[in-house]
């Protein structure tokens, strides 16, 4: 759904420091929710009913399950922390892509050399 797709693809459900992120999906698309967790607390499941956690990213409009749009429910310092996490994830994915691309280039070069070696011995 709008505002959820990019982030839901980057993050697995879990706690990231003081942020708890839930990436999910339903029949019509991806979902993404985020809560602030109190200092020192570690949780394993989304804190839907925990009064000490505050949802800061979630459904801002639309009909849930059909046409929902996701965005910031509350703005504050956590946004900067979240965007740092996003940058780290994107940088790690880019490094992985480059590593994979380089490995493909090495493999192609080895294949080319092998072919040339076979042909040169004819």
* Between residues 86 and 122, the one the model is more confident about: 86
User: What percent of the chain is predicted at pLDDT more than 70?
Assistant: 99
Residue 1: is its pLDDT beyond 60?
Answer: no
Average pLDDT, the chain: 90
* Domain definitions of the chain by residue range: 5-88
Average the pLDDT over 77-88 and give the result: 96
SS3 of 48-115: the string is: CCCCCCEEEEEEEECCCCCCCEEEECCCCHHHHHHHHHHHHHHHHHHHHHHHHHHHHHHHHHHHHHHH
């Amino acid at each position: 759904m709008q505002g959820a797709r990019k982030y839901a693809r980057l993050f697995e459900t879990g706690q990231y420091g003081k942020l708890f992120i839930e990436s999910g999906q339903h029949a019509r698309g991806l979902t993404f929710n985020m809560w602030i967790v109190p200092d020192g607390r570690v949780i394993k499941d989304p804190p839907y009913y925990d009064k000490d956690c505050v949802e800061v990213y979630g459904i801002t409009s639309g009909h849930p399950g059909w046409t929902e749009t996701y965005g910031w429910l509350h703005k504050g310092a956590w946004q900067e922390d979240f965007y740092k996490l996003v940058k780290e994830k994107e940088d790690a994915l880019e490094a992985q892509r480059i590593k994979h691309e380089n490995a493909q280039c090495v493999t192609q070069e080895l294949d080319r050399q092998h072919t040339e070696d076979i042909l040169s011995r004819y």
